[in-house]
Structure 1
Amino acid sequence: MIWTIVIFLSLVSLLAVYSSTGSLAYRTQGGRTEYYLIKQLTVLALGILIIYFAHRVNYTIYSRVAQIGFIISIPLLIYTLAFGSNINDASRWIRLPVINLTFQTSDIAKLAIFMYVSRQLSKRQHVIQDFRKGFLPIIIPVGIICVLIMPANMSTALLLGASCMLLCFIGRVPVKFLLSMMALGIGLVVLLFLVAKLTGEKMRTETWEKRIESFMADDHAEAPYQVQQANIAIAGGGLFGKGPGNSEQRNFLPHPYSDFIYAIIIEEYGMFGAFLILAAYMILLLRSIRIYKNCPYAFGAFLALGLSVTLVIQALTNMAVNVHLFPVTGVTLPLVSMGGSSVLFTSLAIGIILSISRSVDEMEVKKAEQERIAKVVGENANAQVA
């Protein structure tokens, strides 16, 4: 089922990216509209290969590399803040010098912190009710990663923190501990705004403030330009849409191939297509919950659920932004939006989920075989006694 969802979202991505990058291709590639289609096809093909090889690896190995990944993430995030490439007024990317490829270090950090939290939750279940011995060793690394991501990418930091808190809640961490950390997190965000205002530092606080104010405004005319164009696209889509490649707002909507690709999908495929995309992510979550329930080992259960929850939360956030239920953010639609490193790290996360699923299936088959052998032995023994 998860493989089916991956293939479905990949096909949707190819159609939507090819349709929404026409204007971009004329501006940057001299009208070669197939350039971004081939690029996205290459990235998705590489992503599927990553999923396949990652799912063939025993998931317990990811527990061993969790701490190494966390330690590596910290200097990478610091380097990104200090020397990262500035794209769209945000320093989120590192440019590799030889191959001239950029990637977001927050993608590495997200994957590493989920493996780390899952490992710590599984190891500390016997002291999870203790704040100092059980909770602090888990939440401090989460706080470090979120604080390092926050200056350049507030939305990703908040989503990552919320996903980790939810995983901790599932891991039997007391609610009072989580509420105290939520209050501390809100305090840090407020402090960041105040420091930026008082010191006059050129941070993204002005952008965040404008986005929140425009979202809260009663007058639709005060909404950001991209939100207005997204609403026009959604209104024009109707029930079944205008058909593949017939979007009109792709020529007016900023970043229709990444942040606002869901609006283009609705315009071309209507509410029916929008529902299919939403259903795909919900099925992914339900299948991961099933893996969580069937996995006999805590690390695998927490990791499968944690990775799926963060992917689904990211997807729901992107959809909410597109339909103006959430302030504008830079969150993309996993496996659908055009991208490089984001698609590859999403593929790695899905590969890890499938690795856990494969292990659970193998254990269930082995258990069923043992029960069958025991039943046959018992019947033979009864026959001999008779």
Structure 2
Amino acid sequence: MSAIADRFGMAMERVRTYDRTLIVIALVLFAAGILFSMAASPAATARIRIEEAFYFAARQAAYAALGLLVMMSAAALEPKQVRRAGTILLALCLPLAALAALFGTEIKGAQRWFDFGLFSFQPSEILKPALIVVWAWMLSESMKQPKFPGRLVSLGLMALAAAALLAQPDVGQTALLLICLAPMLMLSGIALRYLLGGGALAALGAWAIYSFYPHARERVDTWLNPEGDAAYQVNRALDAIAAGGVFGRGPGEGVIKRSLPDAHADFVFAVAAEEFGLIASLGLIAVFFVLAFRGLSRASRLNDGFEQLAAAGLVTLLVAQAAIHIGVNLSLLPAKGMTLPFISFGGSSMIGSALAFGFCLSLLRDRPGAYLTPLRRNY
């Protein structure tokens, strides 16, 4: 019994080193995901003729429980173990993402998933946090040893990931990874001329995707000219957001969500806005804003280059993905099929987001010598 008590005491002491604000943010997002899934589930199940009205809500709750376990398991790792875990996951998920493009289940013209009957698996969701961890490792080594080709390795991995994702095709995830890589390269001290050159190549790549990917061209054209059947989802999402007003129609009282495809996934923000109003929408945006401010401010004061780059990249991943999802729902960006971390329905998305958040908790926890200046326990 004394040994068990000692282990429990050690576990509780470690939990106290995690940033409390980040823990609260994670719990709020887990709870919001279940709540908003309950709002979207009846409409989604009715549309695809599933008798159980809260089918998606029940599964989302199960995914949240699994995600919480994944997050706390990742948070229990030491920084060296985070690096090791990221490398292993990258070695597994990068080939799987490529195989998904060849042998995955096709859904709405894209092959991103492996269907195992009771559940499906999207390798790219796990690939994202793993890739950021490995990028941070490579770039930090370049900072220590100028002759080490860490930046070239990072760009090469980006090229491989982009090839696998664009073959599916998944333009949105490719763009998201580029959004994460760019600031990491800046933080690693890359010369401005290379950064500008990379920006020019990215612009050229965007033009090539628009020219040779009919699916991407259609979405951009629909965004620029939101008329006709192609713009139906976005227009209905805007109608739902407008109908919610300041305080919303009330839980379960949404009407427009019934005719909104993917209400439980790609357009869950619009469902939340219709039922819970502007206040809830701004509150959700504020949660991600606090995550960005808290995570990046703590990352900027870390001593170790790998820990700093990895934490900053993972926070950027979560916040940028949320910004893209909300931007699509508000018709500020072309439709991309991007999930809202912890909120949108999906097991792979939940596990990937939880893994990224758990890595952040591990890297940003209060450890002796981790920060440039000692942190107050309550900070």
TM-score range, shorter chain: 0.7 to 0.9
1:87 equivalent in alignment to 2:95: no
**Which position in structure 2 is the counterpart of 1:235?**
242
For the 8 Å contact 1:29–1:35, the answer to whether it is kept is: no
**Which position in structure 2 is the counterpart of 1:13?**
33
Q: Please give the secondary structure, in 1, of the residue aligned with 2:274.
A: helix
**Which position in structure 2 is the counterpart of 1:271?**
278
For the 8 Å contact 1:127–1:134, the answer to whether it is kept is: no
1:33 equivalent in alignment to 2:53: yes
- TM-score, with structure 2 as normaliser: 0.87
1:112 equivalent in alignment to 2:119: no
Return closer, same or farther for 1:91/1:222 CA change in 2, 3 Å cut-off. closer
**Which position in structure 1 is the counterpart of 2:11?**
none
**Cα distance, 1:339 vs. partner?**
0.8
Across the two proteins, how many residue pairs are aligned to each other? Answer: 355
Return closer, same or farther for 1:108/1:253 CA change in 2, 3 Å cut-off. same
**Cα distance, 1:117 vs. partner?**
0.5
**Cα distance, 1:360 vs. partner?**
3.7
Return closer, same or farther for 1:362/1:41 CA change in 2, 3 Å cut-off. farther
Give the partner amino acid of 2:216: W
Return closer, same or farther for 1:221/1:350 CA change in 2, 3 Å cut-off. same
For the 8 Å contact 1:292–1:301, the answer to whether it is kept is: yes
**Cα distance, 1:220 vs. partner?**
5.3
**Which position in structure 2 is the counterpart of 1:52?**
72
Give the partner amino acid of 2:140: S
- Return the alpha-carbon distance in structure 2 between the equivalents of residues 85 and 223 of structure 1: 23
- Return the alpha-carbon distance in structure 1 between the equivalents of residues 357 and 375 of structure 2: 27
**Cα distance, 1:23 vs. partner?**
2.9
Aligned-CA RMSD value = 2.4
**Which position in structure 2 is the counterpart of 1:383?**
none
- TM-score, with structure 1 as normaliser: 0.85
Give the partner amino acid of 1:233: A
- Return the alpha-carbon distance in structure 2 between the equivalents of residues 69 and 11 of structure 1: 27
**Cα distance, 1:184 vs. partner?**
2.5
For the 8 Å contact 1:12–1:336, the answer to whether it is kept is: yes
**Which position in structure 1 is the counterpart of 2:152?**
136
- Return the alpha-carbon distance in structure 1 between the equivalents of residues 261 and 33 of structure 2: 18
- Return the alpha-carbon distance in structure 2 between the equivalents of residues 233 and 123 of structure 1: 48
Which string of whole-angstrom CA distances, capped at 9 and with x for unpartnered residues, describes residues 9-67 of structure 1?
22221121111121332355643113222211111011111111211111221223433
Give the partner amino acid of 2:137: R
* Equivalent of 1:182 in 199, 204, 225: 199
Q: Which runs of 5+ in 2 are unaligned?
A: 1-20
For the 8 Å contact 1:244–1:268, the answer to whether it is kept is: yes
**Which position in structure 2 is the counterpart of 1:376?**
none
**Which position in structure 1 is the counterpart of 2:186?**
169
* Aligned positions of 1:178-327 closer than 5 A: 178-191=195-208, 196=212, 205-217=213-225, 224-327=231-334
Which string of whole-angstrom CA distances, capped at 9 and with x for unpartnered residues, describes residues 267-325 of structure 1?
11111111100010011111111221232111111111100101100100110110111
For the 8 Å contact 2:300–2:308, the answer to whether it is kept is: yes
Which string of whole-angstrom CA distances, capped at 9 and with x for unpartnered residues, describes residues 148-195 of structure 1?
11231011101111211121112211221122223233334444555x
For the 8 Å contact 1:18–1:33, the answer to whether it is kept is: no
Q: Please give the secondary structure, in 1, of the residue aligned with 2:300.
A: helix
Which string of whole-angstrom CA distances, capped at 9 and with x for unpartnered residues, describes residues 112-155 of structure 1?
21011000111110455x7x935322211112112211231011
1:146 equivalent in alignment to 2:153: no
**Which position in structure 2 is the counterpart of 1:343?**
350
For the 8 Å contact 1:26–1:33, the answer to whether it is kept is: yes
- Return the alpha-carbon distance in structure 2 between the equivalents of residues 109 and 303 of structure 1: 14
- Return the alpha-carbon distance in structure 2 between the equivalents of residues 21 and 305 of structure 1: 34
- Return the alpha-carbon distance in structure 2 between the equivalents of residues 62 and 228 of structure 1: 42
Q: Please give the secondary structure, in 2, of the residue aligned with 1:294.
A: coil
